[in-house]
């Protein structure tokens, strides 16, 4: 399977799961939160997985030239993709940028680019 041929929504679907797991792992392993309180762990994770934060992070990565040409093109393609989904807790523009970041993460994961995937997710956390 060539990941470049996949629909950006399929990439975002996968990327959402990969990024969520990455953040949950950081929360649990970080030792900064009461691991017997689900609400505390959830609040810690939401800070990183909400659309406004993800949108801010991916826009900053583009501004800094952190993404390759191929990665930036994918982000822009995903951002511009029409969707019927209405965001609950974010503006439509922020939601599209967040979906674009998730599509990039999904692409890197499915394409087996583990080291670059880690770099992008670490940079996302750093920007947030």
Tokens of 86: 């209405």
Residue of 2, 5, 16, 111 with catalytic role:
16
Q: Residue 16 catalytic? A: yes
Check: CB of residue 109 under 8 Å from CB of residue 14.
Answer: yes
Q: Provide CB contacts within 8 A for 15, sequence distance 6+.
A: 101, 102, 103, 104, 105, 106, 107, 109
Residues annotated catalytic, as ranges: 16
């Amino acid at each position: 399977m060539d990941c470049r041929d996949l629909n950006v929504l399929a990439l975002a679907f996968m990327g959402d799961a990969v990024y969520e797991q990455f953040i949950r792992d950081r929360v649990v392993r970080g030792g900064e939160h009461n691991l017997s309180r689900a609400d505390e762990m959830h609040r810690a994770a939401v800070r990183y997985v909400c659309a406004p934060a993800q949108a801010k992070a991916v826009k900053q990565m583009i501004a800094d030239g952190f993404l390759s040409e191929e990665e930036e093109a994918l982000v822009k393609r995903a951002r511009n993709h029409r969707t019927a989904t209405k965001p609950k807790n974010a503006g439509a523009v922020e939601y599209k940028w967040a979906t674009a970041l998730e599509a990039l993460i999904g692409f890197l994961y499915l394409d087996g680019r583990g080291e670059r995937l880690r770099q992008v997710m670490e940079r996302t956390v750093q920007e947030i």
